[in-house]
Amino acid sequence: MYDNILFPTDGSDGANEALEHALELAETHDSTIHVLSVVDSTYLGSAAAEATTIESLQEQTEAVVDETVDDITDHGADVVAERRMGDPYEEIIDYAETEGIDMIVMGTHGRSGLDRYLLGSVTEKVVRTADMPVLTVRLSEAES
């Protein structure tokens, strides 16, 4: 039923909590977990600052993906890793559609009110636009 599970991550506590759910689903359904991390290029500024910022963000993304892949491998699940640059929610949807993803599992920071309105919510946009089921995992009170 869920042969391919997409796990978008930014390395946050919310994403790490969602990983536990992705691992359980993968074990139950003998699924492959696709790890996707996106460098958000929508807020980058001047060309000089941008080069340094992009390089730094790409290094952070590499570290997050490598650590996540190690965690998944340690649990015995099959894993595919992808790193992209762009608008995170667009890249998540594009990857899910082109790679035949059956379910997306992702964390949410639990923002509400003005924070969510001003910052937007990648998770909310994915939930509204994805053609496949999306399991959202809210950061528990103990973790926040």
Q: What is the pLDDT of residue 120?
A: 55
* Residue 133 falls inside a structural domain: yes
Domain range enclosing 12: 4-138
For the chain, the domain total comes to: 1
> 144 lies in a domain?
no
Closest CA relative to residue 108, chosen from 91, 94, 120, 90: 120
The beta strands (E) that lie in 15-102 are given as 32-40, 78-86
> What's the mean pLDDT when you consider all of the chain?
86
Per the domain annotation, does 33 fall within a domain? yes
What is the reported pTM? 0.87
In a domain, 46, yes or no: yes
Residue 82 scores a pLDDT above 70 = yes
**Residue 28 belongs to some domain of the structure:** yes
Q: What is the CATH number of the domain that holds 124?
A: 3.40.50.620
Q: Are 95 and 125 in contact (CB under 8 A)?
A: no
- In this structure, is residue 143 part of a structural domain? no
